[in-house]
A and B are shown apart, each in its own frame.
Chain A
Amino acid sequence: MPTKAEKTTARKKRLKSFFSIDRDRQVDGDTINNKLLNEIVAEGGASASIAACMQCGSCTGGCPNADKMDIPPRSLILMIQRGEWDKVLQSKTLWLCSSCYTCTSRCPRGVKPSDVIEAAKALAIREGIKNDSVKFNTIFVDLIKERGILFEPELMYKYGGLKEVIDQAPLGIKLTLTGKMSPFPEKVKDPKSFKKALEKIEKVSKK
Protein backbone atom coordinates (compact mmCIF):
# COMPACT_ATOMS: atom_id res chain seq x y z
CA MET A 1 0.00 0.00 0.00
CA PRO A 2 1.44 3.42 -0.91
CA THR A 3 1.56 5.90 1.91
CA LYS A 4 -0.43 9.11 1.78
CA ALA A 5 2.72 11.10 1.00
CA GLU A 6 3.58 8.78 -1.85
CA LYS A 7 0.08 9.14 -3.25
CA THR A 8 0.33 12.93 -3.20
CA THR A 9 3.66 12.87 -5.01
CA ALA A 10 2.24 10.52 -7.62
CA ARG A 11 -0.73 12.82 -8.11
CA LYS A 12 1.49 15.86 -8.43
CA LYS A 13 3.61 14.02 -10.95
CA ARG A 14 0.51 13.19 -12.99
CA LEU A 15 -0.63 16.79 -12.91
CA LYS A 16 2.76 17.97 -14.10
CA SER A 17 2.57 15.90 -17.19
CA PHE A 18 0.17 16.64 -20.01
CA PHE A 19 1.10 15.42 -23.44
CA SER A 20 4.38 14.72 -21.66
CA ILE A 21 5.12 18.41 -21.26
CA ASP A 22 5.66 19.56 -17.69
CA ARG A 23 2.69 21.59 -16.67
CA ASP A 24 4.86 24.39 -15.28
CA ARG A 25 7.24 24.61 -18.16
CA GLN A 26 6.54 25.33 -21.76
CA VAL A 27 8.62 25.50 -24.88
CA ASP A 28 10.94 28.41 -24.19
CA GLY A 29 11.44 27.60 -20.54
CA ASP A 30 9.26 30.34 -19.02
CA THR A 31 7.15 29.50 -16.04
CA ILE A 32 3.43 29.19 -16.52
CA ASN A 33 1.56 31.94 -14.73
CA ASN A 34 -1.10 29.99 -12.93
CA LYS A 35 -3.07 32.98 -11.71
CA LEU A 36 -4.13 34.14 -15.15
CA LEU A 37 -4.46 30.58 -16.37
CA ASN A 38 -6.89 29.76 -13.59
CA GLU A 39 -8.98 32.84 -14.28
CA ILE A 40 -9.21 31.89 -17.95
CA VAL A 41 -10.15 28.32 -17.06
CA ALA A 42 -12.82 29.49 -14.62
CA GLU A 43 -14.33 31.50 -17.47
CA GLY A 44 -14.57 28.44 -19.69
CA GLY A 45 -11.09 28.36 -21.22
CA ALA A 46 -9.49 25.01 -21.94
CA SER A 47 -7.94 23.90 -18.66
CA ALA A 48 -4.52 22.24 -18.45
CA SER A 49 -4.13 22.17 -22.19
CA ILE A 50 -3.18 25.85 -22.38
CA ALA A 51 0.10 24.80 -20.83
CA ALA A 52 0.52 22.16 -23.51
CA CYS A 53 0.64 24.65 -26.39
CA MET A 54 3.80 23.94 -28.37
CA GLN A 55 3.69 27.16 -30.37
CA CYS A 56 3.31 25.34 -33.67
CA GLY A 57 1.21 28.12 -35.18
CA SER A 58 -1.45 25.86 -36.71
CA CYS A 59 -4.09 28.07 -35.11
CA THR A 60 -2.73 31.26 -36.64
CA GLY A 61 -2.23 29.50 -39.96
CA GLY A 62 -5.93 28.71 -40.20
CA CYS A 63 -7.34 31.87 -38.64
CA PRO A 64 -9.35 33.90 -41.18
CA ASN A 65 -8.64 37.11 -39.31
CA ALA A 66 -4.98 36.62 -38.33
CA ASP A 67 -3.76 39.22 -40.83
CA LYS A 68 -5.88 41.88 -39.11
CA MET A 69 -4.91 40.95 -35.56
CA ASP A 70 -2.15 42.72 -33.64
CA ILE A 71 -1.50 39.52 -31.69
CA PRO A 72 -2.32 36.35 -33.67
CA PRO A 73 -3.79 33.40 -31.74
CA ARG A 74 -0.47 31.55 -31.32
CA SER A 75 1.19 34.56 -29.70
CA LEU A 76 -1.86 35.28 -27.62
CA ILE A 77 -1.70 31.79 -26.09
CA LEU A 78 1.99 32.35 -25.29
CA MET A 79 1.18 35.65 -23.57
CA ILE A 80 -1.51 33.96 -21.53
CA GLN A 81 0.92 31.23 -20.51
CA ARG A 82 3.32 33.95 -19.36
CA GLY A 83 0.60 35.86 -17.57
CA GLU A 84 0.96 39.01 -19.68
CA TRP A 85 -2.62 40.07 -19.09
CA ASP A 86 -2.08 43.76 -19.86
CA LYS A 87 -1.01 42.96 -23.41
CA VAL A 88 -3.90 40.55 -23.88
CA LEU A 89 -6.35 43.04 -22.46
CA GLN A 90 -5.29 45.77 -24.90
CA SER A 91 -5.18 43.44 -27.88
CA LYS A 92 -7.52 43.97 -30.81
CA THR A 93 -7.48 40.21 -31.31
CA LEU A 94 -10.21 39.69 -28.75
CA TRP A 95 -12.61 41.74 -30.85
CA LEU A 96 -11.52 40.51 -34.27
CA CYS A 97 -11.99 36.86 -33.44
CA SER A 98 -15.19 35.69 -35.14
CA SER A 99 -15.51 32.50 -33.06
CA CYS A 100 -15.10 30.29 -36.11
CA TYR A 101 -13.38 27.41 -34.23
CA THR A 102 -10.90 26.79 -37.05
CA CYS A 103 -8.00 27.18 -34.62
CA THR A 104 -9.59 24.71 -32.23
CA SER A 105 -10.15 22.18 -35.01
CA ARG A 106 -6.54 22.46 -36.16
CA CYS A 107 -4.76 22.54 -32.81
CA PRO A 108 -2.80 19.29 -32.25
CA ARG A 109 -2.66 19.87 -28.49
CA GLY A 110 -6.26 20.44 -27.53
CA VAL A 111 -5.65 24.06 -26.52
CA LYS A 112 -8.97 25.39 -27.92
CA PRO A 113 -7.70 28.92 -28.66
CA SER A 114 -11.26 29.97 -29.58
CA ASP A 115 -12.48 29.20 -26.07
CA VAL A 116 -9.45 30.85 -24.49
CA ILE A 117 -10.20 34.01 -26.48
CA GLU A 118 -13.87 33.85 -25.50
CA ALA A 119 -12.86 33.65 -21.84
CA ALA A 120 -10.40 36.53 -22.25
CA LYS A 121 -13.18 38.63 -23.78
CA ALA A 122 -15.42 38.09 -20.78
CA LEU A 123 -12.58 38.98 -18.39
CA ALA A 124 -11.76 42.11 -20.39
CA ILE A 125 -15.39 43.25 -20.40
CA ARG A 126 -15.59 42.69 -16.65
CA GLU A 127 -12.46 44.79 -16.25
CA GLY A 128 -14.27 47.64 -17.92
CA ILE A 129 -12.60 47.78 -21.34
CA LYS A 130 -14.56 49.95 -23.78
CA ASN A 131 -14.90 49.78 -27.56
CA ASP A 132 -17.58 49.28 -30.22
CA SER A 133 -17.45 45.50 -29.99
CA VAL A 134 -17.95 45.56 -26.23
CA LYS A 135 -20.81 47.98 -26.69
CA PHE A 136 -22.50 45.71 -29.21
CA ASN A 137 -21.96 42.53 -27.24
CA THR A 138 -23.24 43.97 -23.98
CA ILE A 139 -26.33 45.49 -25.60
CA PHE A 140 -27.02 42.11 -27.22
CA VAL A 141 -26.91 40.33 -23.88
CA ASP A 142 -28.90 43.06 -22.10
CA LEU A 143 -31.68 42.75 -24.64
CA ILE A 144 -31.84 38.98 -24.26
CA LYS A 145 -32.07 39.41 -20.51
CA GLU A 146 -35.04 41.70 -21.00
CA ARG A 147 -37.32 39.43 -23.02
CA GLY A 148 -35.43 36.20 -23.66
CA ILE A 149 -35.89 36.53 -27.39
CA LEU A 150 -33.80 38.85 -29.50
CA PHE A 151 -35.49 41.52 -31.59
CA GLU A 152 -32.92 42.68 -34.14
CA PRO A 153 -34.25 46.16 -35.00
CA GLU A 154 -34.04 47.08 -31.34
CA LEU A 155 -30.45 45.84 -31.20
CA MET A 156 -29.49 47.97 -34.20
CA TYR A 157 -31.19 51.03 -32.76
CA LYS A 158 -29.58 50.70 -29.34
CA TYR A 159 -26.17 50.14 -30.93
CA GLY A 160 -26.12 52.58 -33.81
CA GLY A 161 -28.80 55.07 -32.81
CA LEU A 162 -31.18 56.71 -35.23
CA LYS A 163 -28.44 56.95 -37.87
CA GLU A 164 -28.20 53.19 -38.16
CA VAL A 165 -31.97 52.92 -38.42
CA ILE A 166 -32.09 55.50 -41.22
CA ASP A 167 -29.11 53.89 -43.00
CA GLN A 168 -30.89 50.57 -42.85
CA ALA A 169 -34.33 51.96 -43.70
CA PRO A 170 -34.57 50.48 -47.24
CA LEU A 171 -33.76 47.07 -45.79
CA GLY A 172 -36.24 47.62 -42.98
CA ILE A 173 -38.97 48.34 -45.51
CA LYS A 174 -38.08 45.22 -47.47
CA LEU A 175 -38.16 43.10 -44.33
CA THR A 176 -41.54 44.53 -43.38
CA LEU A 177 -42.94 43.87 -46.85
CA THR A 178 -41.82 40.24 -46.75
CA GLY A 179 -43.48 39.90 -43.35
CA LYS A 180 -40.19 39.39 -41.56
CA MET A 181 -40.37 42.33 -39.24
CA SER A 182 -43.25 42.36 -36.84
CA PRO A 183 -43.79 45.45 -34.71
CA PHE A 184 -44.43 43.16 -31.73
CA PRO A 185 -41.29 41.55 -30.37
CA GLU A 186 -41.76 38.08 -28.93
CA LYS A 187 -40.87 37.23 -25.35
CA VAL A 188 -40.60 34.29 -22.96
CA LYS A 189 -43.58 33.50 -20.73
CA ASP A 190 -42.04 34.81 -17.53
CA PRO A 191 -39.53 37.52 -18.46
CA LYS A 192 -39.27 38.73 -14.87
CA SER A 193 -37.80 35.63 -13.29
CA PHE A 194 -35.82 34.98 -16.48
CA LYS A 195 -34.07 38.32 -16.08
CA LYS A 196 -33.62 37.99 -12.36
CA ALA A 197 -31.95 34.60 -12.67
CA LEU A 198 -29.51 35.91 -15.27
CA GLU A 199 -28.68 39.01 -13.27
CA LYS A 200 -27.82 36.82 -10.35
CA ILE A 201 -25.06 35.17 -12.43
CA GLU A 202 -23.55 38.55 -13.15
CA LYS A 203 -23.52 39.47 -9.49
CA VAL A 204 -21.68 36.29 -8.61
CA SER A 205 -19.05 36.68 -11.33
CA LYS A 206 -18.40 40.35 -10.51
CA LYS A 207 -17.27 39.44 -7.01
Chain B
Amino acid sequence: MKYSYYSGCSLHTTAKEFNISTQVIMKELGVELEELKDWSCCGGSIAGGVSHDMGMALAARNVVLAQNQNLDLVASCSGCYNKSAKAAKALEDPKERAKITAVLEDMGMEVSDNNIKVKNIVDVLINDIDYTGKIKHPLTGLKVACYYGCLMTRPDDITGWDSPLYPMSMDKLSEICGAEAVDFRAKTKCCGGPILVHQKEVAYELTKALLDEAKSLNADCIVLACPLCATNLEIRQKEIEKYYNVSYNLPIVYITELIGLALGISPQTLGMNKHVLSVKAVIDKVKNNPLVAA
Protein backbone atom coordinates (compact mmCIF):
# COMPACT_ATOMS: atom_id res chain seq x y z
CA MET B 1 0.00 0.00 0.00
CA LYS B 2 1.38 3.37 -0.98
CA TYR B 3 0.10 6.93 -0.71
CA SER B 4 1.41 10.37 -1.41
CA TYR B 5 1.72 12.25 1.85
CA TYR B 6 0.91 15.91 2.47
CA SER B 7 2.27 17.01 5.83
CA GLY B 8 1.60 20.76 5.65
CA CYS B 9 2.88 23.84 7.50
CA SER B 10 1.79 23.01 11.06
CA LEU B 11 3.27 19.51 11.01
CA HIS B 12 6.63 21.12 10.33
CA THR B 13 6.39 23.47 13.31
CA THR B 14 3.91 23.31 16.20
CA ALA B 15 2.70 19.78 15.46
CA LYS B 16 5.99 18.01 14.72
CA GLU B 17 4.96 15.05 16.85
CA PHE B 18 1.95 14.50 14.60
CA ASN B 19 4.23 14.33 11.56
CA ILE B 20 6.71 12.01 13.27
CA SER B 21 4.08 9.66 14.72
CA THR B 22 2.23 9.45 11.39
CA GLN B 23 5.37 8.40 9.55
CA VAL B 24 6.51 6.01 12.27
CA ILE B 25 3.23 4.10 12.59
CA MET B 26 2.64 3.92 8.85
CA LYS B 27 6.07 2.39 8.44
CA GLU B 28 5.32 -0.06 11.24
CA LEU B 29 2.08 -1.00 9.50
CA GLY B 30 3.83 -1.51 6.20
CA VAL B 31 2.31 1.47 4.43
CA GLU B 32 4.58 3.54 2.25
CA LEU B 33 4.22 7.33 2.31
CA GLU B 34 5.78 9.35 -0.48
CA GLU B 35 6.03 13.00 0.55
CA LEU B 36 4.49 15.44 -1.94
CA LYS B 37 7.28 17.00 -3.92
CA ASP B 38 7.35 20.77 -3.40
CA TRP B 39 4.10 21.05 -1.42
CA SER B 40 2.74 24.40 -0.28
CA CYS B 41 0.24 25.75 2.26
CA CYS B 42 -3.38 24.70 1.61
CA GLY B 43 -4.60 28.18 2.58
CA GLY B 44 -6.40 26.80 5.63
CA SER B 45 -9.78 28.19 6.55
CA ILE B 46 -8.46 31.67 5.86
CA ALA B 47 -7.47 32.03 2.20
CA GLY B 48 -10.91 31.22 0.75
CA GLY B 49 -12.41 34.04 2.82
CA VAL B 50 -9.98 36.51 1.26
CA SER B 51 -10.47 35.26 -2.28
CA HIS B 52 -12.29 32.13 -3.38
CA ASP B 53 -10.06 31.64 -6.40
CA MET B 54 -6.91 32.09 -4.34
CA GLY B 55 -8.09 29.53 -1.76
CA MET B 56 -8.95 27.06 -4.48
CA ALA B 57 -5.67 27.49 -6.36
CA LEU B 58 -3.62 27.06 -3.18
CA ALA B 59 -5.46 23.92 -2.12
CA ALA B 60 -5.56 22.47 -5.63
CA ARG B 61 -1.81 22.86 -6.07
CA ASN B 62 -1.15 20.01 -3.64
CA VAL B 63 -3.85 17.80 -5.15
CA VAL B 64 -2.30 18.29 -8.57
CA LEU B 65 1.12 17.36 -7.17
CA ALA B 66 -0.41 14.13 -5.89
CA GLN B 67 -2.03 13.52 -9.27
CA ASN B 68 1.32 13.96 -10.91
CA GLN B 69 2.81 11.45 -8.49
CA ASN B 70 -0.22 9.29 -9.40
CA LEU B 71 -0.91 8.25 -5.82
CA ASP B 72 -3.92 8.73 -3.54
CA LEU B 73 -3.21 11.62 -1.22
CA VAL B 74 -3.24 11.26 2.55
CA ALA B 75 -3.07 14.22 4.90
CA SER B 76 -2.84 13.93 8.67
CA CYS B 77 -3.89 17.50 9.45
CA SER B 78 -7.70 17.78 9.30
CA GLY B 79 -7.43 21.23 7.76
CA CYS B 80 -5.05 20.22 4.97
CA TYR B 81 -7.21 17.17 4.31
CA ASN B 82 -10.41 19.21 4.18
CA LYS B 83 -9.11 21.87 1.83
CA SER B 84 -7.45 19.29 -0.42
CA ALA B 85 -10.66 17.26 -0.61
CA LYS B 86 -12.59 20.43 -1.45
CA ALA B 87 -10.09 21.26 -4.19
CA ALA B 88 -10.23 17.72 -5.60
CA LYS B 89 -14.00 18.16 -5.93
CA ALA B 90 -13.58 21.58 -7.52
CA LEU B 91 -11.20 20.09 -10.09
CA GLU B 92 -14.13 17.99 -11.33
CA ASP B 93 -16.14 21.12 -12.06
CA PRO B 94 -15.20 22.46 -15.51
CA LYS B 95 -15.49 26.13 -14.51
CA GLU B 96 -13.42 25.80 -11.35
CA ARG B 97 -10.95 23.52 -13.12
CA ALA B 98 -10.31 26.11 -15.84
CA LYS B 99 -9.59 28.83 -13.28
CA ILE B 100 -7.34 26.56 -11.21
CA THR B 101 -5.47 25.29 -14.27
CA ALA B 102 -4.70 28.84 -15.40
CA VAL B 103 -3.09 29.71 -12.04
CA LEU B 104 -1.14 26.47 -11.76
CA GLU B 105 0.15 26.81 -15.30
CA ASP B 106 1.40 30.27 -14.36
CA MET B 107 3.34 28.50 -11.62
CA GLY B 108 4.86 26.24 -14.23
CA MET B 109 2.81 23.18 -13.33
CA GLU B 110 0.91 20.74 -15.48
CA VAL B 111 -2.57 19.58 -14.52
CA SER B 112 -2.99 15.90 -15.34
CA ASP B 113 -6.07 13.73 -15.70
CA ASN B 114 -4.88 11.19 -13.16
CA ASN B 115 -7.74 10.36 -10.89
CA ILE B 116 -6.75 10.18 -7.25
CA LYS B 117 -8.57 10.14 -3.92
CA VAL B 118 -7.90 12.53 -1.07
CA LYS B 119 -7.97 10.90 2.36
CA ASN B 120 -7.53 11.80 5.97
CA ILE B 121 -5.18 9.66 8.06
CA VAL B 122 -8.10 8.58 10.26
CA ASP B 123 -10.03 7.41 7.19
CA VAL B 124 -6.99 5.40 6.09
CA LEU B 125 -6.48 3.90 9.54
CA ILE B 126 -10.08 2.82 9.98
CA ASN B 127 -11.00 1.84 6.42
CA ASP B 128 -7.80 0.79 4.61
CA ILE B 129 -5.73 -0.83 7.34
CA ASP B 130 -6.41 -3.42 10.00
CA TYR B 131 -3.98 -3.30 12.90
CA THR B 132 -6.11 -5.38 15.27
CA GLY B 133 -3.56 -8.19 15.27
CA LYS B 134 -0.61 -5.90 15.76
CA ILE B 135 -1.43 -4.51 19.20
CA LYS B 136 1.54 -5.34 21.42
CA HIS B 137 0.72 -3.05 24.27
CA PRO B 138 -3.03 -2.69 24.90
CA LEU B 139 -3.95 0.62 26.49
CA THR B 140 -6.35 -0.99 28.94
CA GLY B 141 -7.57 1.40 31.60
CA LEU B 142 -6.86 4.53 29.61
CA LYS B 143 -9.92 6.76 29.19
CA VAL B 144 -9.85 8.94 26.10
CA ALA B 145 -12.14 11.67 24.77
CA CYS B 146 -11.93 11.63 20.98
CA TYR B 147 -12.27 15.10 19.52
CA TYR B 148 -12.96 15.39 15.79
CA GLY B 149 -13.56 19.12 15.51
CA CYS B 150 -15.01 20.49 12.30
CA LEU B 151 -12.87 19.77 9.30
CA MET B 152 -12.36 16.03 9.53
CA THR B 153 -15.97 15.16 8.78
CA ARG B 154 -17.65 18.37 7.56
CA PRO B 155 -19.11 19.32 5.17
CA ASP B 156 -20.08 15.75 4.35
CA ASP B 157 -20.43 16.32 0.62
CA ILE B 158 -16.63 16.45 0.47
CA THR B 159 -15.82 14.10 3.38
CA GLY B 160 -18.57 11.51 3.59
CA TRP B 161 -16.74 8.63 5.31
CA ASP B 162 -18.07 9.33 8.81
CA SER B 163 -20.95 11.23 10.41
CA PRO B 164 -20.57 15.03 10.16
CA LEU B 165 -22.04 15.55 13.62
CA TYR B 166 -21.35 12.39 15.61
CA PRO B 167 -18.47 10.44 14.06
CA MET B 168 -17.09 7.27 15.64
CA SER B 169 -13.90 6.39 13.68
CA MET B 170 -11.40 7.62 16.26
CA ASP B 171 -13.45 6.09 19.08
CA LYS B 172 -13.20 2.75 17.31
CA LEU B 173 -9.47 3.20 16.61
CA SER B 174 -8.90 3.94 20.30
CA GLU B 175 -10.91 0.91 21.33
CA ILE B 176 -8.87 -1.32 19.02
CA CYS B 177 -5.88 -0.01 20.98
CA GLY B 178 -7.55 -1.22 24.16
CA ALA B 179 -8.45 2.23 25.48
CA GLU B 180 -11.91 3.23 26.63
CA ALA B 181 -13.51 5.98 24.53
CA VAL B 182 -15.87 8.11 26.61
CA ASP B 183 -19.13 9.41 25.16
CA PHE B 184 -17.85 12.89 24.33
CA ARG B 185 -20.91 14.91 23.35
CA ALA B 186 -18.85 17.88 22.20
CA LYS B 187 -16.71 15.79 19.83
CA THR B 188 -17.56 17.89 16.77
CA LYS B 189 -18.16 21.26 18.43
CA CYS B 190 -15.85 23.94 17.08
CA CYS B 191 -12.81 24.97 19.16
CA GLY B 192 -12.62 28.32 17.39
CA GLY B 193 -9.40 27.50 15.53
CA PRO B 194 -9.68 29.85 12.54
CA ILE B 195 -10.58 32.81 14.77
CA LEU B 196 -8.23 31.99 17.62
CA VAL B 197 -5.97 34.96 17.11
CA HIS B 198 -8.29 37.80 16.20
CA GLN B 199 -11.30 36.73 18.33
CA LYS B 200 -9.30 35.37 21.23
CA GLU B 201 -11.97 35.49 23.94
CA VAL B 202 -14.55 33.79 21.72
CA ALA B 203 -12.09 31.00 20.96
CA TYR B 204 -11.24 30.69 24.67
CA GLU B 205 -14.89 30.16 25.48
CA LEU B 206 -15.37 27.50 22.82
CA THR B 207 -12.22 25.65 23.86
CA LYS B 208 -13.10 25.88 27.54
CA ALA B 209 -16.40 24.09 26.91
CA LEU B 210 -14.48 21.18 25.36
CA LEU B 211 -11.97 20.96 28.21
CA ASP B 212 -14.82 21.17 30.74
CA GLU B 213 -16.68 18.25 29.23
CA ALA B 214 -13.61 16.06 28.79
CA LYS B 215 -12.65 16.74 32.39
CA SER B 216 -16.15 15.99 33.69
CA LEU B 217 -16.02 12.63 31.91
CA ASN B 218 -12.78 11.84 33.75
CA ALA B 219 -10.88 11.42 30.49
CA ASP B 220 -7.13 10.91 30.86
CA CYS B 221 -6.54 12.83 27.67
CA ILE B 222 -8.15 14.29 24.57
CA VAL B 223 -7.27 12.45 21.36
CA LEU B 224 -7.37 14.42 18.11
CA ALA B 225 -6.02 14.81 14.59
CA CYS B 226 -5.87 18.56 14.01
CA PRO B 227 -2.90 20.79 14.83
CA LEU B 228 -5.08 23.89 14.96
CA CYS B 229 -7.37 22.27 17.53
CA ALA B 230 -4.22 21.34 19.42
CA THR B 231 -3.11 24.96 19.36
CA ASN B 232 -6.24 25.87 21.27
CA LEU B 233 -6.58 22.80 23.45
CA GLU B 234 -2.91 22.19 24.23
CA ILE B 235 -0.75 25.21 23.53
CA ARG B 236 -3.31 27.63 24.94
CA GLN B 237 -4.55 25.45 27.78
CA LYS B 238 -2.40 27.27 30.35
CA GLU B 239 -3.67 30.66 29.11
CA ILE B 240 -7.25 29.46 29.33
CA GLU B 241 -6.70 28.13 32.83
CA LYS B 242 -5.39 31.53 33.84
CA TYR B 243 -8.17 33.45 32.09
CA TYR B 244 -10.93 31.49 33.83
CA ASN B 245 -9.02 30.69 37.00
CA VAL B 246 -9.51 26.95 36.60
CA SER B 247 -7.19 23.98 36.34
CA TYR B 248 -7.36 21.24 33.72
CA ASN B 249 -3.90 19.80 33.22
CA LEU B 250 -5.36 17.64 30.49
CA PRO B 251 -2.88 16.02 28.08
CA ILE B 252 -3.64 16.31 24.36
CA VAL B 253 -2.53 13.37 22.24
CA TYR B 254 -2.63 12.80 18.48
CA ILE B 255 -4.44 9.65 17.37
CA THR B 256 -1.28 8.47 15.62
CA GLU B 257 0.65 8.69 18.91
CA LEU B 258 -2.01 6.70 20.71
CA ILE B 259 -1.88 3.96 18.09
CA GLY B 260 1.92 4.05 18.16
CA LEU B 261 1.92 3.38 21.90
CA ALA B 262 -0.42 0.43 21.42
CA LEU B 263 1.82 -0.92 18.67
CA GLY B 264 4.56 -0.96 21.28
CA ILE B 265 6.60 1.94 19.87
CA SER B 266 8.46 4.06 22.41
CA PRO B 267 7.06 7.53 23.19
CA GLN B 268 10.39 9.07 22.22
CA THR B 269 10.31 7.47 18.76
CA LEU B 270 6.78 8.82 18.30
CA GLY B 271 7.96 12.35 19.08
CA MET B 272 5.85 12.51 22.25
CA ASN B 273 8.59 14.40 24.09
CA LYS B 274 7.83 17.38 21.86
CA HIS B 275 4.48 18.28 23.41
CA VAL B 276 4.19 21.77 24.88
CA LEU B 277 1.90 20.32 27.55
CA SER B 278 3.40 17.17 29.04
CA VAL B 279 1.79 13.85 28.12
CA LYS B 280 3.72 12.04 30.85
CA ALA B 281 0.56 11.17 32.78
CA VAL B 282 -0.74 9.23 29.77
CA ILE B 283 2.55 7.45 29.17
CA ASP B 284 2.87 6.54 32.86
CA LYS B 285 -0.63 5.15 32.99
CA VAL B 286 0.04 3.02 29.95
CA LYS B 287 3.45 1.91 31.19
CA ASN B 288 2.09 0.80 34.52
CA ASN B 289 -0.59 -1.19 32.82
CA PRO B 290 -0.70 -4.44 34.85
CA LEU B 291 -1.88 -6.42 31.83
CA VAL B 292 1.31 -5.63 29.99
CA ALA B 293 3.60 -6.25 32.93
CA ALA B 294 2.07 -9.68 33.33
> Could you list which residues of chain A lie within 8 angstroms of chain B, going by C-beta atoms?
43-44, 64-65, 68, 95-102, 104-106, 112, 114, 118-119, 121-122, 125, 132-133, 135-138, 140-141, 144, 148-152, 156, 159, 171, 174-175, 178-182, 186, 188-190, 193-194, 196-198, 200-202, 204-205
Contact = CB atoms under 8 A, between A and B. Distances in A.
Contacts of B40: 144, 148-149, 188, 194
B53 A205 contact: yes
A135 B131 CA distance: 46
B41 A150 contact: yes
Contact of A102 (B13, B50, B103, B154): B154
A125 B202 CA distance: 22
B195 A105 contact: no
B235 interface: yes
Nearest to B277: A174
Given A96-B199, A156-B197, A201-B103, 9 more contacts: A102-B165, A137-B49, A141-B54, A152-B9, A178-B274, A180-B16, A180-B274, A189-B38, A190-B108
Contact of B235 (A102, A156, A171): A171
B263 interface: no
B190 A133 contact: no
Given A98-B193, A150-B9, A193-B108, A179 B46 contact: no
Contacts, number: 166
User: How many residues of B sit at the interface, in one of the four size bands?
Assistant: 35 or more
Contacts of A141: 43, 46-47, 50-51, 54
B275 to A, nearest CB: 8
Interface of B: 9, 12-14, 16, 38-41, 43-58, 103-104, 106-108, 150-151, 154-156, 164-165, 188-190, 192-195, 197-199, 202-203, 206, 235, 273-276
Contacts of B155: 101, 104-105, 112, 114
A201 B52 CA distance: 10
Contact of B165 (A68, A105, A179): A105
12 contacts: A64-B206, A95-B199, A98-B45, A99-B45, A101-B150, A122-B51, A135-B198, A141-B46, A159-B197, A180-B14, A188-B38, A201-B51
Contacts of B50: 121-122, 125, 137-138, 140-141
Given A99-B49, A104-B155, A201-B54, A193 B13 contact: no
